[in-house]
Amino acid sequence: MDCVVRWVGADAGMSFMAETGSGHALVMDGAPEAGGRNLGPRPMELLLAGAGGCSAFDVVMILKKSRQAVSACVVSLSSERASEDPKVFTKIHFHYRVTGRKLKPEAVARAVELSKTKYCSASIMLGETADITADYEVVEEGEG
């Protein structure tokens, strides 16, 4: 896996353009108090989003392979970071809201656990510095 990150330049404050090995681009920026112009997410926000995306991917894939009729998966993440540099994540909580038809709660629990302990490279890596916790709710399709 490769990625190239370029500083957009002095006129752009602290904006950076990332080009991924799969051919996608995204902008990252710093907070205004750090010289940024708030043109994109912070790099640490992308780490958190990446962990959420990685885990949601796993949960949906596992549920589909288990022949569960999953129709939506939303992962809300909350985190805490160290107060001093390096300001690593110290706590991350994943809350999964999984929607489908007649989903088995035990299948959702298993998918969440497998993602956390076996498949989600991002959250497993972040778990080296952060206490990772998770919970879930199952929503019957059409109920909200």
What pLDDT score was predicted for residue 128?
96
Q: Under DSSP, is residue 46 helix (H, G, I), strand (E, B) or coil?
A: helix
Is a pLDDT exceeding 70 seen at residue 144?
A: no
**CB neighbours of residue 32 within 10 Å:** 11
Please report, for residues 102, 116, 120, 136, the alpha-carbon distance to residue 131 in angstroms, rounded to integers and kept in the order given.
32, 11, 15, 17
Relative to beta strand 25-28, strand 16-20 is antiparallel
Which residues sit opposite 99 in a β-bridge?
A: 72, 139
pLDDT digits 0-9 by tens, 61-111: 999 999 999 999 999 999 999 999 999 999 999 999 999 999 999 999 999
What pLDDT score was predicted for residue 79?
98
Nearest to 93 by CA among 127, 45, 44: 127
Is a pLDDT exceeding 80 seen at residue 143?
A: no
How many residues belong to the chain? 144
pTM: 0.92
What pLDDT score was predicted for residue 41?
97
What pLDDT score was predicted for residue 85?
96
**CB neighbours of residue 111 within 10 Å:** 28
Q: Tell me the mean pLDDT in the region 35-58.
A: 96
pLDDT digits 0-9 by tens, 132-142: 999 999 999 98
pLDDT digits 0-9 by tens, 7-41: 998 888 899 999 999 999 999 999 999 999 999 99
